[in-house]
Amino acid sequence: MPLHNADIARVFEDIADLLELDDENPFRIRAYRNASRIIGDLQLDLAASIRRGEEPPKLPGIGEDLSEKIHEIVTTGHCALLDRLRKKTPAAITELLRIPNLGPKRVKALYRGLEVRTLEELYRAARDGRIRGLPGFGEKSELNILQSVEARLSKGRRFKLAVAAQYADAVADYLRKASGVGQVVVAGSLRRMRETVGDIDILATAEASSDVMSRFVGYEEVQEVLSRGDTRSSVRLASGIQVDLRVVPRESYGAALHYFTGSKAHNIAIRRLAQARGLKLNEYGVFRGQKRVSGETEESVFAAVGLPYVPPELREDRGEIEAARAGRLPRLVELGDLKGDLHCHSRWTDGHHSIREMALAAKARGLEYLAITDHSRRIAAVHGLDPSRLREQIDEIGRTEVAGITLLKGIEVDILEDGTLDLPDLLLAELDIVVAAVHSNFNLPRARQTERILRALDHPRVTMLAHPLGRLIDAREPYEVDMLKIIRRAAARGRFLELNAHPERLDLSDTHCRMAKDEGVLVAISSDAHSTQQFDNLRYGIGQGRRGGREKKDVLNALPLRELRRLLPGKRPDRGRETAAS
């Protein structure tokens, strides 16, 4: 079985867990965790590159020893250190570290004292009241463990971005009504627009007399108060999501927002920069000795360590600090940069609104063009368009005039198992936009799945590949493909990749988005709207695109229509929609 970066990352993560249980040097443990994260985020396929005998690039945080271990893992499929650690400690025990409030010390105490190795054993020990007798544990800890294990066994832990955003916006609005409160902002991974978030982090500035904290724990959706302090509290809402509120004085706003936005790895890197300049950075400000030197705004925090402002979506310690220092930070695309949308559905298939209604909604959001791309006949369940219905739809699009927005004729055509398309070439040639999509045979072997998609990209009428990974977040794994090959074929053929903005998809991933940027492939940030409201999902696609380092010039549908047309396969620059309709 071929090894992937994720497999190497997993080995290092396992080593870190086991070292932690072994009371090892915390900085050695951090080195493994760091390496795991770096390799997991890496775009280059390390294993493939090593098998080809290439010299892997020097990665920050990966020195001589870890490089050798990577080589060992790739060439032998094993890591001697991990094997040795596993002999010493039962491997399953590391899952106990994932239980909130259980760290290495307490996990070890549970193992030594009660021979607890698995979640199930932990659950039984808590239920039988055996944990409270251990030194350092009490009744309260036992009850917390019981509840945490139950919660863990019953449901997943991360929430989709769009879901978390709804809860977060509601809490933030509620907190803005508190007395003596200044700013209330959502921070954390939500502000960084990660595709899923583990909890909601909210930052508020307030006077000492403010009731914002008591108001927070009294929020009507609060099911449980997990901790409560003057400056920090955590609650769990009825929906199961955890919300943390941090309150700081106004002069600390920038430092606190930076600190509370993360990521953790980014924060550590920035604090080291501060340290190197003889400064101390915490959530209250930037200090030289006892004296605060900045911290009122995030810009001032970055300036104190000699950097320009780094947008939240880039703060993952994936090279943004080096880029900032070199003045190479991208000017990230913004929602307002979008001029059009190249993927949406109407009542002709599984959409809920007419073509005219969709056009009006898109125009209301400031878009200047919209491609109607209903499904093709293969998807019978949604009454996918066969050639004659598509021809009728083409006529209707041609007849539909909405002032201020240009409608483009399109299709989301199925890529069949052999890589051919679900509609005849002659008909596809009449369309402005052909979005090719995989909706079936998700389980083909990697090589065949890749070939299937490459063949579709070779088709002279295909504009772009829809939702390239085919995953549904938390519901369906991506299909196995060689994404680099696909990206390179798209580059060679002048095709594009979609970044599908639907919150269930957010497909491309941020790392593939970067990979495509490196290969010079534009993405189309598309709503895939099935109703008029769903154009609002574009904001999530923009977030993902920004995480992927996309600038306005890297986004197909940020181009004015005239320039877009110039890039379409098989279209001459001056060929307009009138020609296509005839």
Q: Give the residue with the Cβ less far from DNA, 257 or 274.
A: 274
Per CB under 7 A, 142 contacts DNA: yes
**From 7, 91, 119, 141, residue interacting with DNA (rule: CB under 7 A):** 141
Which region, left, alpha or beta, applies to residue 285 given φ > 0 means left and ψ of -120 to 50 means alpha?
A: left
Window of 266-274, 397-405, 437-445, 490-498 that interacts with DNA by CB under 7 A: 266-274
Per CB under 7 A, 38 contacts DNA: no
Min dist CB 206 to DNA, Å, is 13
Binding region for DNA (CB under 7 A) out of 23-31, 178-186, 343-351, 381-389:
23-31
Burial bucket for residue 215 (CB in 10 Å: 0-12, 13-18, 19+) = middle
User: What is the Cα–Cα distance from 93 to 87, expressed in whole angstroms?
Assistant: 12
* Distances from the Cα of 232 to the Cα of 4, 227, 266, angstroms: 40, 8, 22
> Among 144, 406, 532, 544, which residue interacts with DNA (rule: CB under 7 A)?
144
CA distance 43 to 64: 21
Q: Rounded to 5 degrees, what angle do the CA atoms 425, 430, 432 make?
A: 110
28 binds DNA (CB under 7 A): yes
Q: Would the CA dihedral through 516, 518, 522, 523 be positive or negative?
A: positive
Alpha carbon 319 to its chain centroid, in Å, reads 17
- Residues 6 or more apart whose CB falls under 8 angstroms from that of 580 comprise 409, 430, 431, 432
Q: What is the rounded (10 degree) CA torsion for 143, 29, 68, 11?
A: 10
Question: According to the binding rule CB under 7 A, does residue 13 interact with DNA?
Answer: no
Q: Report, in angstroms and rounded to the nearest whole number, the Rg of the chain calculated over CA atoms.
A: 26
**Nearer of residues 107 and 168 to DNA, judged by Cβ:** 107
Q: Which stretch binds DNA (CB under 7 A): 54-62, 119-127, 376-384, 501-509?
A: 54-62
Burial class (CB in 10 A: 0-12, 13-18, 19+), 375: buried
Of the candidates 51, 272, 331, 566, which one interacts with DNA according to CB under 7 A?
Answer: 272
Those residues with Cβ within 8 angstroms of residue 566's Cβ, 6 or more apart along the chain or in another chain:
573
Stretch that binds DNA, among 279-287, 318-326, 399-407, 429-437 (CB under 7 A): 279-287
Phi, psi of 67 (to 5 degrees): -60, -45
| Residue 382 in the binding site for DNA (CB under 7 A) | no
Token digits for 212?
């914002």
Residue 137 or 496 with smaller CB distance to DNA: 137
Question: Please, is 72 exposed, middle or buried when counting C-beta atoms within 10 Å of its C-beta (0-12, 13-18, 19+)?
Answer: middle
List the interface residues with DNA, window 454-493 (CB under 7 A): none
Taking the CA atoms of residue 131, residue 134, residue 139 and residue 144 in that order, the dihedral angle to the nearest 10 degrees is -60
Of the residues 94, 210, 233, 376, which one makes contact with DNA according to CB under 7 A: 233
The secondary element (H helix, E strand) that includes residue 261 is helix 253-261
Judged by CB under 7 A, the stretch of 174-182, 221-229, 309-317, 551-559 that binds DNA is: 221-229
Choose which of 3, 9, 18, 66 interacts with DNA (CB under 7 A): 66
Among 57, 77, 129, 138, binds DNA (CB under 7 A): 138
Nearer to DNA, 154 or 290 (CB): 290
Among 104, 330, 468, 541, binds DNA (CB under 7 A): 104
User: What's the CA gap between 89 and 107, in Å, rounded?
Assistant: 12
- Comparison of 60 and 404: residue with beta carbon closer to DNA: 60
Closer of 232 and 577 to DNA (Cβ)? 232
The interface region with DNA, picked from 137-145, 288-296, 344-352, 432-440 by CB under 7 A, is 137-145
Q: 102, 212, 305, 457: which one contacts DNA (CB under 7 A)?
A: 102
CB of 124 to DNA, least distance (A): 18
64 binds DNA (CB under 7 A): yes
Region near DNA per CB under 7 A, out of 134-142, 364-372, 456-464, 541-549: 134-142
Q: x/- site string to DNA, residues 496 to 535, per CB under 7 A?
A: ----------------------------------------
Which residue in 86, 130, 132, 577 binds DNA (CB under 7 A)? Answer: 132
% helix / strand / coil in the chain, to the nearest 5? 45, 15, 35
By beta-carbon proximity to DNA, the closer residue of 188 and 254 is 188
State yes or no: residue 282 binds DNA (CB under 7 A). Answer: yes
Kindly compute the dihedral angle of the four CA atoms of residues 269, 274, 275, 276, in this order, to the nearest 10 degrees: 90
d(CA 261, CA 201) in angstroms, rounded, equals 8
Instruction: Work out the burial of residue 53: count CB atoms within 10 Å of its CB; fewer than 13 is exposed, 13-18 middle, 19 or more buried.
Output: exposed
Rounded to the nearest angstrom, the gap between the alpha carbon of residue 87 and the centroid of all alpha carbons in its chain is 36
Piece in contact with DNA (CB under 7 A), picked from 141-149, 316-324, 469-477, 523-531: 141-149
Write each residue from 159 to 198 as x if it is in contact with DNA (CB under 7 A), else as -, in one continuous string. Answer: -----------------------------x----------
Report if residue 101 touches DNA, rule: CB under 7 A.
Answer: yes
Q: Is 325 in the site for DNA (CB under 7 A)?
A: no
Which residue reads 């400000």 in tokens? 285
Residue 331 C-beta: closest distance to DNA, Å: 28
Q: Which one of 13, 14, 17, 244 is in contact with DNA (CB under 7 A)? A: 244
CB atoms within 10 A of CB 283: 18
Q: Which one of 92, 276, 293, 447 is in contact with DNA (CB under 7 A)?
A: 276
Q: Which of residues 42, 47, 99, 456 is near DNA by CB under 7 A?
A: 99
346 contacts 354 by C-beta, under 8 angstroms: yes
**Residue 88 or residue 582: which is nearer to DNA going by CB?**
88
Q: Is 105 in the site for DNA (CB under 7 A)?
A: yes
106 in contact with DNA (CB under 7 A): yes
| Long-range contact pairs involving 206-209 (C-beta distance under 8 Å, separation at least 24) | 206/178, 206/180, 206/181, 206/182, 206/247, 206/249, 207/180, 209/179, 209/180
Please state whether 425 falls in left (phi above 0), alpha (psi between -120 and 50) or beta. Answer: alpha
Q: Which two tokens stand for residue 41?
A: 């985020």
Q: Site residues (CB under 7 A) for DNA?
A: 25, 27-28, 30-32, 60-67, 81, 99-107, 132, 135-142, 144, 188, 199, 201, 227-233, 242, 244, 260, 264, 267-268, 271-272, 274-276, 280-284
